[in-house]
Each structure stands twice: as structure tokens, then as C-alpha cells.
Amino acid sequence: MREQISVKSPEGIEKMREAGKRLAKVHEELKAAIRPGISTGELNRIAETVIRDLKCSPNFLHYNGFPAAACISVNDEVVHGIPHDEHFLDEGDIVSLDLGLIYEGWHSDAARTYGVGTVSKEDALLIERTRQSFFEGIAHARAGNYLHQISNAIADYAESYGYGVVYDLVGHGIGRRLHEPPEIPNCHVQGRGPKLKAGMTLAVEPMINAGAPDVYWDEEDGWTVLTEDGSNCAHYENTILITNGDPEILTLTREERE
Ligand code: MG
């Protein structure tokens, strides 16, 4: 039997809100630290330090053996990039920061892609449209609707610009565990998927390639996912709470809420 999608209690939802708020603070600190010349290893240290200062623990660290608190993926790296002290960001790079934390047993997960210094117009648009594809998707994320309405809306929007929606990686339910059912595709899917209920918490995370949707796994490190055609990729993710109205986005920074 397929595992049920968990519906959180009011107490659980309060913890999830707090987990989300704290993760947003980590993202604020990381955004402020990004500049040409900083290493991805240094960004990872900042992430882990801020997470622990907030009395939380990094849920990515040691997850299936992942060696860091944050996945940091540059340019044609889609996700799961391993931070490294010798990997310095260059002017014009785009960098994706994907990380999460555990607060009193409850998980949050969010990703952002930023330009390093000045980036090309194409990359700036890719970042902005990837962000917007998330909002197009979650416009359908409310109780009574169906999960794949989110997926199809993301794909419709991204593909209207000729982008490749990564279909080998998906979003996920989240709560007491980092990855819970359901899987949340970002591409067009047949069937409507599970019905959404108030109290479900989901990590919706479009990964959008400037070129073709195909990706491959780096065989040397076993983690990094890259675009097959070498085109750049952007990633945008928030943990959201399904309600009877608009979803509550739990991982927005203060600046993003304004
Ligand atoms: Mg995620």
C-alpha cells in the first residue's frame, strides 16, 4: 500500500513554521555572503554555523552520506553540489544554495539561486523565471485541488520560455522527516495525483535548465547532478503549508515577504 501523506497537527504546524523561519534566517546570511572569490566550502561553513547558532541541526549533513550542511551547485550543476574550499565563485557565475534544518524534530527545506556579481541577461531571466514557476505552481496548492495541478502549472510556465524542466528530480512532502510522500514532479504528468488537504506540508522545488531537461550524475563524487548539454540551471524551493485558502510559505526571508 502506498504510504499516506501526513497531515500535521496544529502543534506540528507551529514547529514547522518555526523551522521555516529559522531556515529563512540562514538563507539571509548566505545571500549576504555571496561574492566573487568566496569558496563554496566557506558558504557551507556559514550555513552550518548559523544553523547551530539557531539551536537547530542541519538535516542534509550525513543524509545518505552527504558530507555537508548545504548543497551548493554552480552554473551547469543542477543540485547536490558538494561544497569545497578550493571551489571559488567567479563573477558571472550562478550559484544554487539548497539546505534545510531540524527544529525540535521538525524539518524545513528551501533553495535559492543567486547571481555572483553581474550575470548575463539570460542567467538573470533564468533565475527569475525559475522563481516565478514556483509561484505559478503553488497558485494551485490548496485543499481540494490535486497535486499534479502544481506540477503541470510549473511545467507550462517554464516550457513557455523554451526551458527544460528537470524530470529526474522531484519535490517532496516534509515534516518529521526530510523526505516524505508525495513525490512532487515539476514536469507534465498524467493523472491528477493525490488530493491536497489542509495541514499537508510540501517542499515544492522547480529545477529549470536553460537548455534541454536531461541531467546526469557525476560518477566521481557520486552526488553532483549536472545538465547533459552544459546549460545553466536554476533552483527555487520553499516549504509550504496547504490550507483551505492560499498556501502559507514557511521559508520566505523577511525581505521576500515584503
Ligand atoms: Mg527539497
Q: pLDDT means per 10 residues in the chain (258 residues)?
A: 88 98 98 98 98 98 97 98 98 98 98 98 98 98 98 98 97 98 97 97 98 97 97 98 98 95
Q: How far is the CA of 205 from the centre of ligand 1 (A)?
A: 6
pLDDT at 237: 98
C-alpha 202 to ligand 1 mean position (Å): 9
Q: Which pLDDT does position 146 carry in this prediction?
A: 98
Q: How many whole angstroms separate alpha carbon 101 and alpha carbon 82?
A: 17
Between CA 16 and CA 1 the distance in angstroms is 27
Return the pLDDT at 196. 98
Q: What angle do CA 10, 16, 18 make, to 5 degrees?
A: 110
Domain ranges of the chain: 10-249
Q: Write down the pLDDT at residue 1.
A: 59
- Judge residue 111's burial from the number of C-beta atoms within 10 Å of its C-beta, 0-12 exposed, 13-18 middle, 19 or more buried: buried
pLDDT at 258: 85
User: What does the block give as the cell for 82?
Assistant: 558538494
Cα–ligand 1 centroid distance for 140 (angstroms): 19
Centre of ligand 1 to C-alpha 252, Å, is 15
C-alpha 237 to ligand 1 mean position (Å): 7
Give kind and range of the element (H or E) at residue 24: helix 10-33
Question: Measured in angstroms, how far is the CA atom of residue 109 from the centroid of ligand 1?
Answer: 5
Q: Which chain residues have CB less than 5 Å from ligand 1, an ion? A: 109, 203, 205
Pairing of strands 201-204, 238-241: antiparallel
Contacts 24+ apart (CB under 8 A), 13-16: 13/199, 13/201, 13/241, 15/103, 15/104, 15/105, 15/106, 16/106, 16/107, 16/108, 16/175, 16/201, 16/239, 16/241, 16/250
**The pTM of the whole model exceeds 0.85:** yes
**At the topology level of CATH, where does 10-249 sit?**
Creatine Amidinohydrolase (3.90.230)
**pLDDT confidence of residue 107:** 98
